[in-house]
């Protein structure tokens, strides 16, 4: 077996090509090592040894008893009309009571030969009642030859591993395959440094692998899982620590704002003072910008906590220092919205080179895919000459034609919408790597996971600016209590009569082909299969019915950009009473006069998305109202999710709930890439402590030995974890 370490041996050599093919195709297992790391999902106990006198109903039990008698009966049934059906009834006794076993059909032959009166055996199965008598149907049994007490104990108390399996490969077949490769576990290279393992009292890796697959006691399972959790947390942390370490060694141009430049002029014209949180986070960002390696910071903030303002101050500091800043938005609506709000906030400071522009002014340009040729050419020229200090755009910014004079800072809004290639393409437009600031309003589960693991420095804005109003949220159970829905529309009318405006959000547009795949996700638990409600249908029904007489307009992603912009402008100007929209309004839309939101089929949206949507109301001085309409039954998980959203306005708390419900979809993005999860025993929320400790240990290891030359086992584990696809996925930050 020259040259191939035992754990890298292909399974087809060990298990044969047919089994190996199924394991590769259905479970993603290719080598002996992969199979050893395919851990049991749970363990069945063959029941405790039980006296026949006190058998519990509906439970799996193991009994040791003697066969008292065995009778074969014939009977007629639909399948065997001529009385050819066979039933074997075996009565067993252990001295404390009697119990009947039954076997049917072809299953009678073997026990009929083996279970003769006087035979002693162990029987395992589920207790049921038939004709008011307890029985075991088709129990598993093991004949006891001689009187070995030991055999009885070990067989009855065995913990039987149940593996994640597929229809093509049952758990017990996987168990047999594991049994075949288990001796190779002795050669597993340990990724944990000895000092760390000893210091934390963790099992050696070979022992942990033996105990997770063949535990003798529940304590074995606990010890093995504790050790394997550490492996997963530590190896991943080392990957992140090495990235942080590499980032700090890249060169970047330090960007320090002057004392009386653009930033100072902007601060002077602000009509309010920054919150403590905004000041603190701005200091963290300015400190990063002043260093000679690229900032790599995540700015998490509640909806409405003023992230855009903090990001704008960072951009102005970079312009002050002679550089340019680019803000990347996920949609055109959002890019236009950011452009509008930033030029409004800056006033004459955004009119660089124009008559009436202030002394320190710069140009703020917008660049999107749907701009006219002339406007686009002008914007590109302003970027190339450095005339424009700030550019806001969609991924149109990433195209080859776009050249910057000196790109110093990239701000990415709603990071989860941008792929690694896009981010890299934009970062590649700087002469040296630009600083990077990533903003997210709701820590989506993967962001929470990455934050808990952390390869980005994190800043948190958790204070709402003064004058922001709380948002009351309520679940409207439309199926159980239709009058609640009628009341919801009355509330919308009341808000409009008080001079305010409202949103109605639907999951679907309504002009698509009636393709069930397009009609939304799979129906949730216990739900009939109607398609999700659509903007175009709902707007019509409301206009003719409960909101008759009000000015109702629609907004969705397939409208022409100019039409979308016109609708948004009318709504922002107060000309429209109710806007019926898809989730295009989810981020960045700022209409302080909108106070109410009704979300139809709210159970079709994720927790984070609902929180994000709700943040569009209550942006002014009047209190906000969000009504979550659903037809899901009260006991369903979907309703519990909605109740959670209604019960708290804390986005960080909600993202935890979201993560606990969905599991992390894997921090390394296997949910997206379709490969299997790299996290098998580690749960991001439950194991936060392990992760935090592993992060500290990993940072120390990487600082002392960045190339891990002294830790070959760790290097091997890292290579296995970070194949190219995952490496790239992690790069998305």
Which tens digit of pLDDT belongs to each residue from 13-28? 888 898 899 899 888 8
Structure confidence at residue 628 (pLDDT): 95
* Chain segment 30-44, per-residue pLDDT in tens: 889 889 999 988 786
Residue pair 281/298 in contact by the 8 Å Cβ criterion: no
Residue pair 129/135 in contact by the 8 Å Cβ criterion: yes
Rounded to 5 degrees, φ, ψ at 382 are: -60, -35
Compute the average pLDDT of residues 240-246.
83
pLDDT confidence tier of residue 606, bands split at 50, 70 and 90? confident
Rounded to 5 degrees, φ, ψ at 596 are: -130, 145
**Contact residues for 597 (Cβ-Cβ < 8 A; gap 6+):** 502, 503, 504, 505, 613, 614, 616, 617, 624, 625, 626, 627
Asked if residue 309 has pLDDT above 60, the reply is yes
Structure confidence at residue 431 (pLDDT): 80
* Chain segment 716-730, per-residue pLDDT in tens: 888 877 664 455 545
Asked if residue 598 has pLDDT above 60, the reply is yes
Distance (Å, rounded) from C-alpha 200 to C-alpha 193? 11
Which has the minimum average pLDDT: 102-116, 191-205, 499-513, 590-604?
499-513
Structure confidence at residue 556 (pLDDT): 86
Q: In which element (H, E) is residue 673 found?
A: helix 670-673
Compute the average pLDDT of residues 138-151.
70
Asked if residue 157 has pLDDT above 90, the reply is no
Distance (Å, rounded) from C-alpha 297 to C-alpha 357? 32
Could you tell me what percent of the chain has a pLDDT over 70?
80
Both tokens of 586, joined, read: 């989810």
Both tokens of 196, joined, read: 């760390």
Q: Tell me the sheet residues that pair with 367.
A: 393
**Contact residues for 98 (Cβ-Cβ < 8 A; gap 6+):** 52, 68, 91, 92
SS3 499: coil
**Contact residues for 410 (Cβ-Cβ < 8 A; gap 6+):** 325, 326, 328, 423, 426, 427, 434, 435, 436, 437
Structure confidence at residue 673 (pLDDT): 34
Length of the chain: 733
Instruction: Please give the residue that has the higher pLDDT: either 463 or 246.
Output: 246
Asked if residue 518 has pLDDT above 50, the reply is no
Which has the minimum average pLDDT: 45-54, 377-386, 699-708?
45-54
Mean pLDDT computed over every residue of the chain: 82
Sheet holding 296-301, edge to edge: 363-367, 388-393, 324-328, 407-413, 435-440, 296-301, 457-461
Which has the minimum average pLDDT: 145-149, 486-490, 598-602?
145-149
Residue pair 412/388 in contact by the 8 Å Cβ criterion: no
Structure confidence at residue 141 (pLDDT): 84
Structure confidence at residue 267 (pLDDT): 93
Handedness of CA 198, 202, 203, 205 (dihedral sign): negative
Structure confidence at residue 198 (pLDDT): 92
Which has the minimum average pLDDT: 122-126, 190-194, 604-608, 660-664?
660-664
Distance (Å, rounded) from C-alpha 2 to C-alpha 560? 65
Residue 266's nearest CA partner among 319, 333, 218 is: 319
């Amino acid at each position: 077996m020259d040259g191939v370490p035992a754990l890298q041996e292909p399974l087809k050599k060990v298990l044969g090509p047919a089994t190996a093919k199924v394991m590769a195709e259905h479970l993603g297992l290719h080598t002996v090592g992969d199979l050893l790391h395919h851990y049991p999902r749970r363990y069945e106990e063959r029941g405790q040894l039980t006296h026949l006198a006190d058998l519990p109903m509906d439970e799996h039990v193991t009994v040791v008893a003697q066969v008292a008698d065995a009778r074969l009966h014939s009977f007629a049934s639909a399948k065997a009309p001529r009385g050819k059906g066979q039933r074997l009834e075996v009565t067993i006794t252990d001295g404390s009571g009697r119990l009947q076993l039954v076997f049917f059909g072809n299953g009678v032959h073997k026990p009929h030969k083996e279970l003769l009166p006087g035979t002693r055996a162990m029987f395992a199965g589920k207790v049921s009642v038939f004709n008011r008598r307890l029985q075991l149907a088709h129990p598993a049994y093991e004949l006891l030859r001689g009187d070995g007490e030991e055999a009885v104990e070990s067989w009855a108390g065995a913990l039987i591993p149940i593996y994640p399996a597929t229809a093509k490969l049952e758990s017990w077949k996987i168990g047999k395959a594991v049994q075949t490769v288990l001796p190779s576990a002795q050669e597993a290279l340990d990724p944990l440094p000895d000092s760390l393992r000893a210091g934390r009292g963790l099992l050696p890796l070979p022992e942990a692998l033996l105990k997770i697959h063949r535990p003798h006691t529940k304590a074995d399972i606990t010890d093995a899982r504790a050790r394997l959790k550490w492996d997963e947390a530590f190896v991943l942390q080392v990957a992140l620590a090495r990235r942080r370490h590499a980032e700090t060694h890249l060169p970047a141009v330090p960007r320090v704002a002057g004392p009386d430049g653009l930033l100072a002029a902007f601060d002077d014209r602000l009509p309010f003072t920054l919150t403590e949180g905004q000041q603190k986070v701005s200091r963290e960002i300015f400190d990063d910008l002043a260093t000679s390696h690229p900032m790599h910071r995540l700015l998490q903030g509640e909806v409405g906590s003023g992230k855009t303002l903090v990001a704008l101050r960072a951009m102005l500091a970079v312009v002050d220092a002679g550089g340019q800043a680019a803000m990347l938005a996920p949609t055109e609506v959002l890019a236009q919205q950011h452009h509008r709000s930033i030029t409004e906030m800056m006033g004459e400071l955004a009119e660089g080179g124009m008559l009436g522009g202030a002394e320190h002014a710069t140009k703020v340009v917008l660049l999107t895919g749907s701009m006219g040729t002339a406007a686009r050419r002008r914007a590109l020229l302003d970027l190339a000459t450095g005339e424009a200090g700030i550019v806001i755009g969609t991924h149109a910014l990433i195209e080859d034609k776009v050249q910057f004079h000196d790109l110093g800072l990239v701000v990415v809004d709603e990071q989860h919408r941008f792929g690694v290639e896009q981010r890299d393409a934009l970062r590649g437009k700087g002469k040296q790597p630009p600083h990077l600031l990533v903003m997210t309003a709701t820590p989506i589960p993967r962001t929470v996971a990455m934050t808990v693991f952390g390869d980005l420095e994190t800043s948190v804005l958790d204070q709402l600016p003064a004058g922001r109003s709380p948002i009351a949220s309520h679940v409207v159970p439309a199926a159980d209590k239709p009058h609640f829905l009628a009341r919801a529309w009355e509330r919308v009318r009341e808000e409009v009569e008080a001079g305010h405006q409202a949103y109605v959000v639907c999951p679907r547009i309504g002009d698509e082909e009636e393709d069930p795949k397009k009609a939304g996700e799979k129906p949730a638990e216990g739900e009939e299969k109607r398609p999700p409600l659509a903007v175009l249908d709902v707007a019509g029904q409301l206009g003719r019915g409960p909101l008759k007489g009000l000015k109702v307009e629609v907004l969705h992603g397939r409208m022409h950009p100019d039409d979308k912009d016109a609708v948004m402008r009318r709504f922002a100007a107060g000309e429209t009473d109710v806007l019926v929209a898809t989730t295009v309004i989810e981020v960045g839309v700022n209409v302080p006069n909108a106070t109410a939101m009704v979300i139809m089929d709210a159970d079709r949206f994720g927790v984070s998305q609902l929180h994000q949507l709700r943040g569009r109301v209550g942006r002014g001085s009047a209190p906000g109202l969000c009504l979550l309409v659903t037809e899901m039954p009260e006991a369903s998980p979907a309703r519990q999710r909605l109740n959670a959203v209604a019960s708290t306005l804390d986005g960080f708390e909600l993202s935890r709930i979201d993560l606990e419900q969905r599991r992390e979809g894997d921090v390394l993005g296997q949910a997206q890439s379709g490969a299997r999860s790299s996290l098998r025993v580690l749960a991001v929320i439950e194991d936060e402590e392990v992760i935090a400790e592993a992060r500290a240990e990993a940072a120390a290891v990487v600082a002392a030995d960045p190339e891990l030359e002294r830790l070959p086992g760790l290097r091997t584990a890292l290579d296995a974890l970070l194949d190219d696809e995952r490496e790239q996925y992690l790069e998305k930050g």
